Amino acid sequence: MLTTMLTAATASLCAQETITIRIADRTTREAIPGATITTADGRSYVANEKGEISLSSNAASCTVSGIGYASQTVQLSRQQRLVLLEAQAANMQQVIVTANRQVQKRSAAPVAISSISAATIHETKATTIDQLINKTPGVFMVNLGNEQHMMSIRQPMSTKGLYLYLEDGIPIRTSGVFNHNALLEINMTAVKNIEIIRGPSSSMYGAEAIGGAINFITKAAPVEPMARIALQGNNTGYSRADLSTGATFGKLGISFNGYFAQNNNGVLERSDFKKWTGTLRADYAISEKTKLSSSITALDYYSDMRGSLDSTAFRNKDYSTPQTFTWRQVNALRFKTQLDHKWNNGSNTSIALIYRDNSVAQNPSYRVKDDYRRAGANWTGKKSLAHGEINDNSFNSYAAVITHQQQWLNGKLNSVSGISVDLSPSTYESYYIRINQDTVSRKYLSFTERPDSLLSNYYTNISNGAAFTQLDYKLTENLRLVGGLRFDVFRMSFRNYLPPSAFSGSPNTTETYKRFTPKAGLTWQPHKAVGFYANYSEGFVAPQVTELFNGVKVPDLKPQTFFNYEAGGWIHLWNGKIYADWSVYYLQGTNEIISIRFDDGSFGNANAGKTKHQGIEYGINFRPAREWLFRFSGANSTHRFVNYSDKEISYNGKTMNGAPAFTGNAELQYKPNWFPGFRTGIEWQHNGAYWMDPQNTVRDPGFNLLNLRAGYEWKCLEVWCNVINLTDNYYSINTSKSAFGYAYTVANPQSFNIGIAYTITGKKK
């Protein structure tokens, strides 16, 4: 643990003299409310919401501590002082907020939850989010390039809408229009820490929180004026500039965090992209008990779309692509203002108002289809012709979330209850494009726009109202019982501006879905260093707009429902030098929506799928000395079809495609005492073999990846060098096989990412 010592101005003070000390996070410079100071004469003090403590003591020194931080001893001074605490790796008593929307200790939550600290984010210098969240057990985010992605948490790697992505506890997108690339809308520079719940959490957050929920918690203003500029780039065309700045002026704190990233002329053909995003946040302390926080995030993103490679191109290590014009563009705006009020020590209320404006436009590579194709034993169509489309899916959201926390029975019973309303009108438009294809190279050369050839043009008014409650009862000092229940009502009003057809969609209609979602659990901590938990939870996914209305008739669909049973625990050994946690789960999926053939010979969506998922997730952190840290996380799992068929082909009993039996991540870090400010570490990422197809005929071997990181901080200056894919391993990060052939997604080659940052801090008077 890194210890910061403050030089004493005097050895002792008279009892009447008051000293004010501010306590903040060493990485983010944010205040740490609830931090404590214990003086040498035995007095204790607790920091207020601004991280400040005013104390009077004759003692010459004190111990400063906070939950999740390494304690340190400092000398008291007559002048106002700032104490910076460093986040402690793998602390069982870390503070989390995602489990029940309120601040609580990790040991009190009966869920599988991991937290990625501000210190880890700062030291990793991730250029994509997967470089961070893949450090946690049972999580594998598939990097598709240019911050695009798929996800795998207690599910196979896929684009399915089984995950909920949150920003400060609020979904970044509305339900019903899930986008598997949603995390490219996150402003990574504005993120303070990340919390990941594995398994269903619909009882608290609603639909789509099946495999897991990922909550990105944003930075507040620093306690003293601060500005940080960072520049970085690598040898494969990537460059990025970050700006973070902020200050606190009495009751008002203001911060701005943003970055611009781009990739030009990379090793992979058509891998260019540009992204600009910024977050402006203001926090105002209306009184000691009332705080108003507002933030606005804007995003402008554009990326070429490579598409996948066939088996021949992949075998030849061909970084080219048949695509020459496909692209994706995302524009997003999110605004939130939240009022928090503490009525007393055991009662507080928060009211959040949210607005979203989101558009995803694209000329997608996955919509490009050759006209020349096999028809039985023969081939038909033109070799020089292909077909595609350009589409745009947009929505606005007007939402509100009201939450109240209350303690009862002298603190033994705690309740968190609330209501939420989300009104999100959505539009979708697509039109046909005619594509010219080279008959020899098979490249798609150009296309002719046909705005008059509309394929789809519709409007959907999506509304979601919900009420939820969670009770936490301390049965004994070491045993807690937790129960929760949520009720959701979804209403989708669909209006088709075109005549109904297989391309344009269904006739005008309105669909309504209602769902109760419960959970129950317990935590037992027989010793301060050992704890166990168990829970039962349910999750659901209401049908997506595209699943409901993209056919001639509207199918009679029910929400997909998942039932989760899990148990786990954690332990500290060797005076806290070893920390381990684990979870065992069994997850059943029912009413899963799949495409089937109806009696009249047509195809459509129906609730006809059942799956089961089971496994064990585990992590260990070992710090034998302050200089060294070893971390390992892994998951062994099986994912099987129970009752599942696609166009009359049964997959019952088969292993689900894209589901490795083992994933793991390990890291060894070194911070030498003899070289203060220097850090280095090597990381191993492993993805095991998996079936490419649901028939289980061909396996992908998986991959091993090594990353090397090093950095040095001296006063206001920081430099770093990260080597991603150290051995320049050539592999596919995601592979599939279908009736159209093999599809390989080539991973990024070896890259040397070099960066420099300069931080300016001012003194608050």
Q: How confident is the model at residue 359 (pLDDT cuts 50, 70, 90)?
A: very high
pLDDT at 602: 52
Regarding whether 294 and 181 lie in a shared domain, the answer is no
Q: Is the pLDDT of residue 90 over 60?
A: no
Q: Report yes or no on 731 lying in a domain.
A: yes
Contact of 611 with 642, CB cutoff 8 Å = yes
pLDDT at 291: 95
CA angle 76, 81, 83 (to 5 degrees): 90
The residue that leads in pLDDT, 426 or 28, is: 426
Q: Is the pLDDT of residue 600 over 60?
A: no
Regarding whether 187 and 81 lie in a shared domain, the answer is no
What is the spatial order of strands in the sheet that 19-25 belongs to?
52-55, 19-25, 81-85
Q: Report yes or no on 638 lying in a domain.
A: yes
Mean pLDDT (the chain) is 91
Contact of 166 with 224, CB cutoff 8 Å = no
Tell me which residue range forms the domain holding 50.
19-85
Instruction: Report the alpha-carbon distance of residue 145 to residue 127 in Å, rounded.
Output: 11
Q: How confident is the model at residue 80 (pLDDT cuts 50, 70, 90)?
A: low
pLDDT at 608: 79
pLDDT tens by residue, 512-568: 999 999 999 999 999 989 999 999 999 999 998 988 887 777 778 889 999 999 999
Regarding whether 537 and 642 lie in a shared domain, the answer is yes
Burial of 695 from C-beta contacts in 10 A (0-12 / 13-18 / 19+)? middle
Out of 216, 250, 271, pick the residue that ends a domain.
216
Q: Report yes or no on 44 lying in a domain.
A: yes
Q: How confident is the model at residue 8 (pLDDT cuts 50, 70, 90)?
A: very low
Instruction: Report the alpha-carbon distance of residue 693 to residue 110 in Å, rounded.
Output: 36
Q: What is the CATH number for 73?
A: 2.60.40.1120
Q: How confident is the model at residue 289 (pLDDT cuts 50, 70, 90)?
A: very high
Q: Report yes or no on 636 lying in a domain.
A: yes
The residue that leads in pLDDT, 764 or 727, is: 727
Torsion angles phi and psi, residue 698, rounded to 5: -135, 140
pLDDT tens by residue, 295-354: 999 999 999 999 888 888 899 998 889 999 999 999 999 999 999 999 988 899 999 999
Please give the torsion angle defined by the CA atoms of residues 361, 366, 370 and 375, in that order, rounded to the nearest 10 degrees. -130
Q: Report yes or no on 14 lying in a domain.
A: no
Regarding whether 355 and 224 lie in a shared domain, the answer is yes
SS3 757: strand
Regarding whether 162 and 66 lie in a shared domain, the answer is no
pLDDT tens by residue, 493-506: 999 999 988 778 88
Q: How confident is the model at residue 3 (pLDDT cuts 50, 70, 90)?
A: very low
Q: How confident is the model at residue 12 (pLDDT cuts 50, 70, 90)?
A: very low
Query: Could you write out the DSSP letters of every residue in 34-95?
Result: T-EEEETTS-EEE--TTSEEEE--S-SEEEEE-TTB--EEEE--SS-EEEEEPBPTT-TT-E
Out of 191, 216, 241, pick the residue that ends a domain.
216
pLDDT at 630: 96
* Residues of the chain above pLDDT 90, percent: 71
Regarding whether 258 and 211 lie in a shared domain, the answer is no
Regarding whether 438 and 327 lie in a shared domain, the answer is yes
Contact of 537 with 203, CB cutoff 8 Å = yes
Q: Is the pLDDT of residue 429 over 70?
A: yes
Q: What is the CATH number for 134?
A: 2.170.130.10
Closest CA to 391 of 467, 327, 343: 327
> In sequence order, what E strands does 312-443 have?
327-344, 347-363, 369-370, 373-375, 378-380, 385-408, 413-437
The residue that leads in pLDDT, 693 or 575, is: 693
Regarding whether 698 and 605 lie in a shared domain, the answer is yes
Which of these ranges, 48-52, 144-148, 548-552, has the smallest mean pLDDT? 548-552
Give the pLDDT mean for 234-251.
Answer: 96
Regarding whether 281 and 179 lie in a shared domain, the answer is no
Out of 55, 85, 115, pick the residue that ends a domain.
85
Q: How many domains does the chain have?
A: 3
pLDDT at 597: 55
Q: What is the CATH number for 223?
A: 2.40.170.20
